[in-house]
Chains A and B, each alone.
Chain A
Amino acid sequence: MKNLRRRFVRTVLLVLGVVVVSGTLFSATIVMQSIQNSLRIGTYRLGADVLVVPEKYEASARNALLAGEPTSFYMKKDALDKVRAVDGVKNVSAQVFIQPASFSCCYSANVFIVGFDPRTDFTIKPWLEESIKTIPEGNEIVTGREIPVKVGDYIPFYGTEFKVVGTLEGTGMKFFDNTVFMPLETAYRMAEQSRKKARQVLNISSDDISAVLVQVKSDITPDRVAIRIEHDIPGVKAIVSDQVISTVRQQMFVLLRSIFLIVGVAWIMALLMIAVVFSMIVNERQREIGLMRAMGAKKSGIFRLIMSEAILLSGLGGILGVTVGGILVYSFKNLLIASLKMPYLWPSSFKIAVLVLGCIVLSIITGAIAALYPAYSVSKMEPYDAIRKGE
């Protein structure tokens, strides 16, 4: 172990190699996990099989879902009844999306208002019932995690004051986390009153809706229903939520593949580097090793000595790599979300712990594999040979 001290530069290089590999592996995996985690929770929260939106706004609707970019688009309310009439549709509910002019108190980031219909809703209501056990009525609202208000606060939108009656747990999807939920009727009333009260008028009538959320019957696939909807109703687009996810999955898979390719190459390089460095270290130490053998060290003892050095080094590298990777991902999380345009939610701490351990163990295994041959070959040398070759 004391030998590490002497070959400082080489040791540092070696550790750094492991750091790079375990760091990239760890950060890449945790980012992927976070995105998947968020998608899973997000789509579960979305709760609708199909989302019907005006045809022209398909892209912004998808963007709103995935990246939480606020948007507003409207169609006439009769779409709701038309969708309900389509074969295979089980439940429908209308939602209206409103982009607030400004969030007057303190918050500048994107906030999104969603009006849902408490009478027909099957997506948000179960969530509210489950998590906060109240459904907003009148001028009451429920807010997503990222909105910096607490229960009991009052916030104004378009000239109307709203009371926060609940805050929701995070999903990692801005579509939920940056959203203010209010009943549909309340939203219409707010729009109407904005003509009198607000500086900026919200121009929607109670005949406007943004999207129709659809739950399909269990004997038919959402895809088929979506095709029927688009066929029966002109001017709408039916977004299948499974497809949104599978598209993202696919994008992620491509990304993932290139990242793991890079990690794989880096891993092989690290493996080779450790093997080379260890053969060098072992070569230089042949005489020492021969001496130790002369003084009674067993082959297995020498083998263990070198292996433990390798394990120590690569373990250290692994721990450092995970730490550095973790810090980087954590501190650049926002940049990452912005550039990936993907939802993001940290995995549970148990999963993170498993990942941390996995990366460290992998590093140690890497070090051990790389040192295996040098350790084996030097330990089986004749002591006299080792002493002479070391000269």
Chain B
Amino acid sequence: MIEVRNLTKTYNIEGQVITAVDNVTLDVSEGEFVSIVGHSGSGKTTLLSLLGGLTRPDSGTVVMDGVNLWDIDDNRLSEFRNKKINFIFQFASLIPTLTVKENVCLPSVFGQYNAGVDEYAVRLLEMVGLSDKINSYPSQLSGGQQRRVAIARAFINTPKVILADEPTGDLDEETEKEIISIFNRMNADDKVTFIIVTHNTELAGQAKRQLRMSNGVLKEV
């Protein structure tokens, strides 16, 4: 499903070269549930961005579903992201001027799948326990509620891969458990591949495969 070969990404900050991702090689098969832990600044977010085609690596390749992400042009890469991948970001990632439902439906605006999206969005919002906030705006929601909206949005395009960066960051324990069970269900039923960055030991621990990142280097645990 995902084949990563010798992936390296460096940043040049005021003459200082930082190797955020250092020669990472990784194979993830379809329907796997992978967790990545690591210290702050170890390069986890950068790795997820590389996997999702949000930033170009200095060297190495990412092949997903048989497609080398950096071999295709930007339009096709965008389409690929739109159809196959979805993200849950570390930070608040809702568009403030759109309602909760509009936010959840946003990926569909960029693709060509409009039929049934509204109903699906409502179902996803019910799943994350926000059916009463469908027409609210993000500013009217708590941080945890916003995060749950972002989680609902991650499933709207029925992606094959979900790249999640601290998805349970600001959720209480109970909601966290619900989210984990949603992830598990999606993983089991729909064979969605999960790659989740987390500090949460419970979430990390129940992943079948656990990786650790330190100073840009990825290791199996």
Please list the residues of chain A having a beta carbon within 8 angstroms of any beta carbon in chain B.
2-3, 5-6, 287-288, 290-301, 382-385, 387, 391
Contact = CB atoms under 8 A, between A and B. Distances in A.
Contacts of A288: 95
B27 interface: no
Q: Which 8 A-B pairs have CB atoms at the shortest separation, nearest pair first?
A: A296-B82, A384-B55, A2-B97, A384-B54, A296-B110, A384-B49, A383-B54, A295-B107
Contact of B89 (A3, A6, A291, A300): A291
A2 B107 CA distance: 17
A296 B78 contact: yes
A299 B95 contact: no
Given A298-B110, A384-B54, A291 B93 contact: yes
A297 B78 contact: yes
Contacts of A384: 46, 49, 54-55
Nearest to B56: A382
8 contacts: A288-B95, A291-B95, A295-B81, A295-B86, A296-B79, A296-B83, A301-B110, A387-B54
Contacts of B178: none
B75 interface: yes
Contact of A391 (B91, B111, B157): B91
B95 A382 contact: no
B91 A295 contact: no
Contacts of A385: 55
Nearest to A383: B54
A382 B54 contact: yes
A6 B139 CA distance: 12
Contact of B75 (A294, A300, A391): A300
A323 B182 CA distance: 57
Contacts of B55: 382-385
B71 to A, nearest CB: 17
Contacts of B157: 295-296
Contact of A294 (B74, B83, B87, B98): B87
Given A295-B81, A296-B110, 19 more contacts: A5-B97, A6-B97, A287-B93, A290-B54, A291-B93, A291-B95, A292-B95, A292-B106, A293-B54, A294-B54, A295-B110, A296-B81, A296-B83, A297-B78, A297-B110, A298-B79, A299-B75, A383-B55, A387-B54
Contacts of A296: 78-79, 81-83, 107, 110-111, 157
A382 B52 CA distance: 12
B96 interface: yes
A295 B106 contact: yes
Contacts of B56: 382
Q: Select the residue from B46, B74, B83, B96 with max chain A CB neighbours within 10 A.
A: B74
Nearest to A297: B110
A290 B97 CA distance: 16
Contacts of A297: 78, 110
A295 to B, nearest CB: 4
B75 A295 contact: no
Contacts of B98: 2
A389 to B, nearest CB: 12
Given A297-B110, A298-B74, A300-B75, A387 B89 contact: yes
A7 B141 CA distance: 21
A287 B81 CA distance: 17
